[in-house]
Structure formats: C-alpha cells, structure tokens
Amino acid sequence: MYSTLQDTTLLQSDLARLVGAEHILGPTHPAANGIEPTRPAANGRQGGWASYNHDATRTRGLYGRADLVVCPGSTAEVAAVLGLCYERDVPLIPRGGGTGLAGGAVPLGGGVVCSLERLRAIRELEPTLWRIHPEAGVSTRHVQRLARENGLCFPPDPGAAEQSQIGGNVATNAGGPHAFKYGVTGNWVTGLEAVIPPGETIALGGAYRKDVAGYDLKSLLIGSEGTLGIITAVRLRLMPAPEAALPLISFHATRAQGCTAILDVLGTGIVPAALDFLDGEALRMAAGAYPGGLPLEAEFALLAEVDGTLEEARAAHAELATVLGSSAIELRRPDRGALWEWRDRIAGAVCAMRGGKVSEDVVVPVERLAEALARFEEIATRHGLRSCAWGHGADGNLHANLLVDPRSEPELAAAEAATEELFALAVELGGSISGEHGVGWLKRGQLARQWPPRALHLHEEIKRAFDPKGLLNPGKKLARPPAAMPSLASILG
Ligand SMILES: Cc1cc2nc3c(=O)[nH]c(=O)nc-3n(C[C@H](O)[C@H](O)[C@H](O)COP(=O)(O)OP(=O)(O)OC[C@H]3O[C@@H](n4cnc5c(N)ncnc54)[C@H](O)[C@@H]3O)c2cc1C
C-alpha cells in the first residue's frame, strides 16, 4: 500500500488541483461504500471507487485496493498526474475499460489508478484517407461504429468491445476472431501519443502508413500493458468495408476431426476472415444462448467467415462449405450478427456454471492445437477441475478455461497449479504463454519459460529505460519471477 491516510489526503488535494476534486475517487469518498453499481454511472464513470479495484479477472477472485482513482480529462492532465506521482514515488496504474484478462489494470499493491475514461474525443476522422485519430478512452465499439458509418472497417474485434477502450486495446495489442486475416490491433496503429516518465508527452509515428526511421518505439509501447507509458491517443488506419461477409458453422463429432478440418481449410488456400472453435463442453455450456439450439452431441464446432466482394465471398463460402462439410456432422449458415453476438456471450455463459473461471490464452502452432486441447483436458481432470476451451482456431490460440468457485481457495490453488502446467505445455509445443491477453500480473515471470536469459535482460532494461523508478504499473509484465511470488489464493479479495 502506498502510504498512510495522511499522505493520501495530501496527495488527493494535490491531484485535485490538477484534475478537479470531482474527478478523484478514494476509499473515503462517499461513493466508495464497497457496493458496486450494476452499471456505469451516468457521468461515464465505470462506477464507484470499488469498481476500479478489479478487471475481468474478478471471475477468479482477483481484487486490488487503490489508494486513489484519478480521471484526468486531457493529455496535459495525464502528464501532470504522472509528473506528480513520479516526483512523490507513488505507483501509477493506467486503466482503460477494465476488461483485461491478465490482471494488468488491478492495483494489487495500492497506488493511484489513472483511468483514461474522460479522454473520449475523436481528434480526426478522415474517411477518404481511411484514417481515424481517437483518444485513448474511446470505446472499441465506437471506433468500429464510426468506421462502419463511413463505409470503412476497423477489423480488430476483441470480445468486450462495448466496454474496452481503444487505448487498452493498443496497450494489450488485443486480437479477436478476425485477427487471422486482418492481424491484431497493433497492425492498425500508425502513430500514438503517450505520456512517459517523469511526465513527458511524446508522439511516435503519425498519419503515414510506413515508417522505418529509428528503433520501433511505437511498437514497444503497443502491448506494453501500461508498464512503459500511458497512451493518450492513437492514430489508426482503416480499410474499406468488405462488400460481403458470409459466416458458416460446422459441427464435428470429435475434437481431432474438428482440428483436422482447420488444417484442411488452410490447405485449400482459402483465407477465412475468422476461423474460431469451441470444444464440446464449451458448446454445451453456451448452447442455451444460441438462437434455435445446437447439436449437443457435437464435440467441436468451427465458426468460420469469409469476406470480400459479394462474388468472392460467395465463391469462398461455397468452397469452405465443401471442405468443412466433408467431415462435419452438420453445417449451418447462421445470421452473421446473431453468430458473433452469441460468440461474445460464451465467456459469460461458461462463467455462470460455477460462478467463476480461470482463463488462459496460450497459443501453439496450429498443427499442435488438437494435442494442446487434449493435454489441457487431461491436466484439468488430474487437478479435479471441470474445463472447456474455445478460441481462434486458425491462429492456434486457445482460451483454456477452468471452472472454479472464486471463493474456494483449494479450487483456485488447483487452477493455479493447472495453469502452470498449461504454460509449460504451450512452450513445449513450440508456442507462447499468451496469444492476446498479455502477461499482466497473472503471468508475471512466465516469459522466463520461453525466452533466453539475454532477451529477458533486454526486456528488463527496456522497462528501466522508460521507467527508471519502476512506478508505472509495478509488478506487471515482469519477464522473470519476482523473488517472492504470492499465490493467487493468498491475495484473494
Ligand atoms: C468477454 C471478454 C472477451 C474478450 N475477448 C478478447 C479477444 O477476443 N481478444 C483479446 O485480445 N482480448 C479479449 N479480451 C480481453 C480484453 O478485452 C482486452 O485485453 C482489452 O484490450 C483490454 O482493454 P481495456 O480497455 O479493458 O483495458 P484494461 O483492462 O483497463 O487494461 C489492460 C491493460 O492495459 C493497460 N492500459 C489500459 N489502458 C491504457 C492506456 N491508455 N495506456 C497505457 N496502458 C493502458 C492497463 O494498465 C492494463 O495493463 C476479452 C475480455 C472479455 C471480458
């Protein structure tokens, strides 16, 4: 924890001079009664002070305790806040929409949470140049909507788009179902503005599409999870919206057949815009929410989509149907909106089964996906946990889920042991510990499994170069395990 109450009071009044007292929340604030509102406050806040103490990892019981929450209203205010905190040796935790799945925005050691929610301006939208320049706090969905309204498309589509912010997406380099064809968020960033210690604003890149001048500092900030700087605005490229996007679902009798079907699709040379999967358990847990029901005997499903001109999409759709149909027990041509809406709700449906879930997002070479899924199930069973998986099949990116009661310490401990084995498995199969959610707090130190010592050292040196005092999101995205690693169960909120 940062300090005594007296210090916090002093800090609060100094921060209030920078951003206005109404934009600071603390545990002593009248709204901080520990009861979370069920929806964001009318002023655009995510809720009271308590709602800034967790992210989406609350489903596994992860809570921190912020000394203060500050909501600056401009880049200049972000710089002033960072400057003050740096001068006073106060940890600062950048926060977007709080949908992260690695605990990156959770104030586990106290400190000041810096929420970007008030940076919501669109600085420029230039449809004929296929460009948009939103501030960090604009929601992902709003960026997608603005692009669509102008005949364009912003392809990255992480699941919690209504709540997540574009700054958070850049900070985590978020992916999503359409990343297979179109790449992850970072592939669409041509420039960004960030505040870095000890409180300086820098602009990297710009409104141009190519840039090989200097080391790629922009890409260092992309995916840095709030540990190198606070992103305040991003320049994104857009693309003309495809004329048509045609979805398909195939249901397969076994996991092995479904994974082979993924390889068959790739082998034909069809480039699906998306090729997601669900295993049988996930399918059955989420079936109730699917309009018209699903074949419950299936052990694997593929959610595929092809796009392009109407003619191209139709031709690819027919070819896809032939390839998937050759091994599927059933093929469906669903309504596109309903399909992806349902896909977004799978995590919630799975979580509801036991009240919580521990979810990891390892990635393996696509031809090892079947083996990864089978061995994950074996690991979960050995630890006495029910499991399921879904994910971005063509990317080899599996969201491996362990169902837990988040109040049960033995279940959380079993899940933690199982995820350790899962990380080891991913690396053994030639993959990575995270395909899209990042390292955050939950995977701190796990990079040491897959990087050589010299690379780990460089990772640490980069952190020191940006943040010599180590005050920006401390304890997150650590390359090597810290000396004392508290277990998840031991910090249960
Ligand atoms: C239902 C559901 C589905 C999801 N599906 C996907 C998916 O398909 N693909 C995917 O990649 N992720 C997915 N996620 C995870 C999550 O939505 C993404 O990681 C998202 O990019 C986080 O954005 P956020 O604004 O909520 O960030 P937060 O959770 O607030 O923060 C995430 C990290 O970024 C840092 N950060 C946030 N904003 C800034 C900023 N402006 N400057 C510097 N650092 C910042 C924080 O410190 C933290 O380390 C899903 C989550 C949920 C709950």
Neighbouring CB atoms inside 10 A of 1's CB total 12
- What is the position in ligand 1's atom list of the atom closest to the CA of 224? 44
Q: Check if 134 has its Cβ closer than 6 Å to any atom of ligand 1.
A: no
Q: Check if 100 has its Cβ closer than 6 Å to any atom of ligand 1.
A: yes
- What is the position in ligand 1's atom list of the atom closest to the CA of 119? 41
Answer for the pair 442, 389: CB distance below 8 angstroms, yes or no.
no
Q: Check if 230 has its Cβ closer than 6 Å to any atom of ligand 1.
A: yes
- What is the position in ligand 1's atom list of the atom closest to the CA of 184? 11
Distance CA(41)–CA(72), nearest Å, equals 17
Q: Check if 179 has its Cβ closer than 6 Å to any atom of ligand 1.
A: no
CA-nearest of 3, 171, 198 to 82 is 198
**Distance between Cα 196 and ligand 1 center (Å):** 20
Nearest CA to ligand 1 atom 53: 99
Distance CA(338)–CA(275), nearest Å, equals 16
- What is the position in ligand 1's atom list of the atom closest to the CA of 100? 29
Q: Check if 307 has its Cβ closer than 6 Å to any atom of ligand 1.
A: no
Walk along the chain (493 residues) and give the pLDDT tens digit of each residue: 445 456 889 999 999 999 999 999 998 754 444 444 434 454 567 789 999 999 999 988 899 999 999 999 999 999 999 999 999 999 999 999 999 999 999 999 999 999 999 999 999 999 999 999 999 999 999 999 999 999 999 999 998 999 999 999 999 999 999 999 999 999 999 999 999 999 999 999 999 999 999 999 999 999 999 999 999 999 999 999 999 999 999 999 999 999 999 999 999 999 999 999 999 999 999 988 888 888 989 999 999 999 999 999 999 999 999 999 999 999 999 999 999 999 988 999 999 999 999 999 999 999 999 999 999 999 999 999 999 999 999 999 999 999 999 899 999 999 999 999 999 999 999 999 999 999 999 999 999 999 999 999 999 999 999 999 999 999 999 999 887 655 555 544 4
- What is the position in ligand 1's atom list of the atom closest to the CA of 161? 17
Top mutation candidate among 77, 93, 95 for ligand 1, by most atoms within 8 Å of CB:
95
Q: Check if 175 has its Cβ closer than 6 Å to any atom of ligand 1.
A: yes
**Distance between Cα 347 and ligand 1 center (Å):** 15
Answer for the pair 429, 371: CB distance below 8 angstroms, yes or no.
yes
**Distance between Cα 163 and ligand 1 center (Å):** 9
Q: Check if 158 has its Cβ closer than 6 Å to any atom of ligand 1.
A: yes
**Distance between Cα 5 and ligand 1 center (Å):** 31
Q: Check if 474 has its Cβ closer than 6 Å to any atom of ligand 1.
A: no
**Distance between Cα 289 and ligand 1 center (Å):** 25
Top mutation candidate among 53, 54, 81, 99 for ligand 1, by most atoms within 8 Å of CB:
99
Q: Check if 8 has its Cβ closer than 6 Å to any atom of ligand 1.
A: no
- What is the position in ligand 1's atom list of the atom closest to the CA of 221? 43
